[in-house]
Amino acid sequence: MMIFVVVVVSGLAWLLGISMRTMMVNALKSLHKPDAAMSRAALVTSAAKPVGALEPATTAKNESRSRSASEKPTSRPVRIIVAMTGATGAILGIRILEILRDMGVETHLIVSRWAAETLKYEGNYSIKDVKNLATFCYAHNDAGALPSSGSFQTDGMIVVPCSMRTLSAIRTGFADDLICRAADVTIKERRKLVLVARETPLSPIHLGNMLALAQMQNVVIFPPVPAFYTRPKSLSDIVDQSVGRMIDMLGLESDHFPRWNGMDQSKA
Ligand SMILES: Cc1cc2nc3c(=O)[nH]c(=O)nc-3n(C[C@H](O)[C@H](O)[C@H](O)COP(=O)(O)O)c2cc1C
């Protein structure tokens, strides 16, 4: 009798164990079930409040112009990471943020510590003004922010202006801050990376780093060198022409600067 009771009780315990295990497995499976609507919602939610981000400052305008014709339509807007580092030329970063905002592009801004310092010398923009031009901003040392993961999809990244320090770190994959990590991710994910490298004159070290990066298919070295054939009348003409070409390099199209229209016969 005793043996019978023991056998029945252990049988019940065994059955209970199986059904509990099945319930737990099913519960875990349902947690990881791919659900397109959920994933999209999760992406939007996490993008809406990234770690260390400011509130979105601007409303996207003119959305129809933000995606280039060759791109497949997706449910998210065109998304570009903009990083500003401590080379002179903060106005280039500021102007690109303004133009991308007007094009309806979602911008993710990272400003290095030395970019914030040089900004103080170069004009009347405060760091707050600059951050307000971007859709989202991150602290330069926030390695857990969205742009540090390849699974956060973007349409490319531009470092503008790009110091020789950041350029060398990107070249070697020394991803010790969010800018270098995001650039590293952009390279490994084979997305477009535009480096607006600013220094003069250039040493063999600078040139070696630029050559190594330029040999990667998805990296463009874009020194902000003015074009004079457009007869610029002001600094802002020079900046706009340069920034317009940078936007071209990202595979987007803007029409706020004059393009070469062929030879003018009256000058021949
Ligand atoms: C006013 C000012 C202008 C600078 N201009 C340049 C420059 O044009 N190119 C450059 O590579 N570094 C320049 N630097 C030096 C960089 O700011 C410095 O190397 C810094 O460590 C770069 O750090 P980051 O790449 O993290 O921003 C400048 C520094 C100051 C204060």
Q: What pLDDT does 72 receive?
A: 53
- Domain regions of the chain by residue span: 79-250
What are the b/e assignments for 223-248, b being 16+ CB within 10 Å?
Answer: ebeeeeeeebeeeebbbbbbbbbbbb
What's the rounded mean pLDDT across residues 158-174?
98
Q: How far is the CA of 43 from the centre of ligand 1 (A)?
A: 35
What's the rounded mean pLDDT across residues 209-216?
98
Of 142-146, 186-190, 259-263, the range with the lowest mean pLDDT is 259-263
- Give the number of C-alpha atoms closer than 13 A to the C-alpha of residue 263, restricted to the C-beta side: 4
Task: Kindly report the protein residue whose alpha carbon is nearest to atom 22 of ligand 1.
Answer: 86
Q: Which residue has the higher pLDDT, 113 or 27?
A: 113
Q: What is the pLDDT of residues 6-25, one digit of tens each?
A: 555 555 555 544 444 444 43
Q: What pLDDT does 23 receive?
A: 43
Of 40-49, 72-81, 140-149, the range with the lowest mean pLDDT is 40-49
> What pLDDT band is residue 186 in, cutting at 50, 70 and 90?
very high
Q: What pLDDT does 31 receive?
A: 34
- Tell me whether residue 172 is annotated as binding: no
Q: Which residue has the higher pLDDT, 67 or 187?
A: 187
Of 46-55, 132-141, 198-207, the range with the lowest mean pLDDT is 46-55
Q: What is the mean pLDDT of the chain?
A: 81
Total-model pTM: 0.77
> What pLDDT band is residue 36 in, cutting at 50, 70 and 90?
very low
Preceding omega of 204 cis (within 30 degrees of 0): no
Q: How far is the CA of 228 from the centre of ligand 1 (A)?
A: 26
Q: What is the pLDDT of residues 59-92, one digit of tens each?
A: 333 333 344 434 555 689 999 999 999 999 999 9
pLDDT higher than 70, residue 99: yes
Q: What pLDDT does 155 receive?
A: 98
pLDDT higher than 90, residue 192: yes
Q: How far is the CA of 15 from the centre of ligand 1 (A)?
A: 69
Nearest to 67 by CA among 57, 82, 79: 79
Q: Which fold has domain 79-250?
A: Rossmann fold (3.40.50)
What's the rounded mean pLDDT across residues 212-227?
97
Structure tokens at 230: 């457009």
Instruction: For ligand 1, say whether the CB of 87 is within 6 Å of any of its atoms.
Output: yes
Q: What pLDDT does 65 receive?
A: 36
Per the CB < 8 A criterion, the answer to whether 150 and 123 are in contact is no
Distance between CA atoms of residues 146 and 46, nearest Å: 8
Q: What pLDDT does 27 receive?
A: 40
Mutate to test the pocket of ligand 1, among 88, 111, 163 (most ligand atoms within 8 A of CB): 163
- Tell me whether residue 198 is annotated as binding: yes
pLDDT higher than 60, residue 115: yes
Tell me whether residue 74 is exposed, middle or buried, using C-beta atoms within 10 angstroms of its C-beta: 0 to 12, 13 to 18, 19 or more: exposed
End-to-end, the C-alpha distance of the chain in Å comes to 115
Nearest to 87 by CA among 170, 183, 198: 198
